[in-house]
């Protein structure tokens, strides 16, 4: 006989007779494990116990000197409505029993048949556990429905933004189509990774590898240097996945991965910042590709990276264009305003 956390059940016993209380406790001692019994004999002590302690079940006599069982039941229903209430009485007529059940009693045991008490207590505790589990399942289902709705709305907003901004930066239908498919595909890949992780925290190395896999025909051309073990919550993982996709896509079309000899080196590490938070610092370095120069205007890809780092991650990013290849450095706090938010 165990309560919800596997420990001994805590029982509040309202009984004025010391002899009857001893007999009741003897029956409860036969349970495995035996119950932890708190006995009270007056209305004031009963009210105080309900106020100050938590119990798994209440056992009550029907007739008391300054109180009565119905009053005790009404008080329990008002103050602890989810706790089973069992009458343990020497006499309990049929009409009284019916009235007790109508007001919320779980069961009743005659004192002449106390041998039935352990089974009745176990049954009441089991029913309570089942109700609690059903309630928890319903709450979990409601939470999942709300979370799914929130994710779908956010993802549609992201897709609409990708459609609109990609269209603004492309002059041909084919260019627009290719870039849009690529970006939506990156979002889908990030979601696939999170789904595999059951929407739990995801390690940064897995996010990076998933993003570069389509462009990684020669693994030696992408060098992963120092990389501390870092896990990101789902919201931040999506943002970082989009950032990696933009970087590797740009490198494959215009930068180090657009020829046969260029290389990309990436590294990241964590350190404590002046604000007391842990900051992730990441460097993306390209070399060996075509000579590069700063573009005449900032394309949507660059704006997408900056928006994800600065707005979604509360971080900062610097993009440089030395002749030997693009250099991107970004930093963001691992404990930021997104860290506990559902996506």
The whole-number pLDDT of residue 154 equals: 55
- Does residue 222 surpass a pLDDT of 60? yes
Identify the pLDDT of residue 190.
65
Q: Which two tokens stand for residue 175?
A: 């260019």
With a pLDDT cut of 70, the percent of the chain lying above it is 82
- Mean pLDDT is lowest, of 40-54, 81-95, 105-119, 180-194, for 180-194
Kindly indicate the confidence band of residue 4, based on its pLDDT and cuts at 50, 70 and 90: very low
Residue 150 has pLDDT above 60, yes or no: no
Token digits of residue 8: 């001994």
Q: What span, in angstroms and rounded, lies between the C-alpha atoms of 238 and 247? A: 14
Distance separating alpha carbons of residues 101 and 122, to the nearest angstrom: 18
pLDDT at residue 332 is higher than 80: yes
Q: Specify the higher pLDDT residue, 301 or 103.
A: 103
What does the pLDDT read at residue 275? Answer: 84
pLDDT at 294: 83
Burial call 221-253: b when 16+ CB within 10 Å, e when fewer? bbeeeeeeebbbbbbbbbbbbbbbbbbbbbbbe
Mean of the pLDDT values across residues 147-153?
Answer: 58
| Residue 33, pLDDT above cutoff 80 | no
Between 171 and 232, the more confident residue is 232
Q: What confidence category does residue 195 fall into, taking pLDDT thresholds of 50, 70 and 90?
A: low
pLDDT at residue 69 tops 80: yes
**Stretch 323-338: mean pLDDT:** 85
Distance CA 160, CA 241 (A): 18
Domains, the chain, in order of start with CATH, read 10-133 (3.40.50.2300), 169-333 (3.30.565.10)
């Amino acid at each position: 006989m165990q309560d919800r956390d596997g420990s001994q059940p805590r029982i509040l016993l309202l009984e004025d007779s010391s002899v009857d209380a001893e007999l009741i406790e003897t029956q409860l001692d036969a349970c495995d494990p035996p119950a932890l019994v708190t006995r009270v004999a007056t209305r004031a002590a009963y009210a105080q116990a309900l106020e100050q302690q938590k119990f798994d079940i209440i056992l009550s006599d029907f007739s008391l000197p300054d109180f009565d069982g119905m009053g005790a039941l009404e008080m329990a229903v008002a103050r602890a409505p989810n706790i089973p209430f069992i009458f343990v009485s020497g006499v309990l007529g049929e009409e009284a029993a019916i009235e007790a059940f109508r007001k919320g009693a779980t069961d009743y045991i005659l004192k002449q048949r106390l041998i039935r008490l352990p089974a009745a207590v176990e049954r009441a505790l089991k029913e309570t556990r089942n109700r609690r589990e059903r309630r928890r399942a319903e709450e979990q289902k409601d939470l999942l429905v709300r979370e799914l709705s929130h994710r779908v709305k956010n993802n549609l907003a992201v897709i609409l933004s990708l459609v609109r901004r990609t269209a603004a930066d492309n002059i041909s239908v084919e260019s627009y189509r290719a870039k849009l498919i690529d970006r939506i595909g990156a979002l889908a890949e990030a979601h696939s990774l999170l789904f595999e992780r059951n929407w739990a925290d995801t390690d940064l190395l897995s996010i990076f590898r998933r993003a570069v896999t389509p462009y990684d025909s020669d693994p030696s051309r992408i060098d992963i240097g120092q990389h501390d073990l870092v896990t990101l919550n789902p919201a931040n993982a999506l943002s970082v996945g989009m950032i990696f996709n933009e970087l590797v896509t740009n490198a494959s079309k215009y930068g180090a991965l657009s020829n046969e000899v260029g290389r990309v080196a990436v590294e990241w590490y964590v350190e404590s910042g002046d604000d007391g938070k842990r900051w992730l610092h990441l460097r993306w370095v390209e070399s060996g590709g075509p000579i590069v120069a700063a573009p005449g205007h900032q394309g949507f890809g660059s704006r997408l990276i900056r928006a994800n780092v600065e707005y979604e991650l509360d971080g900062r990013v610097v993009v440089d264009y030395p002749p030997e290849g693009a250099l991107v450095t970004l930093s963001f706090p691992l404990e930021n305003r997104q860290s506990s938010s559902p996506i």
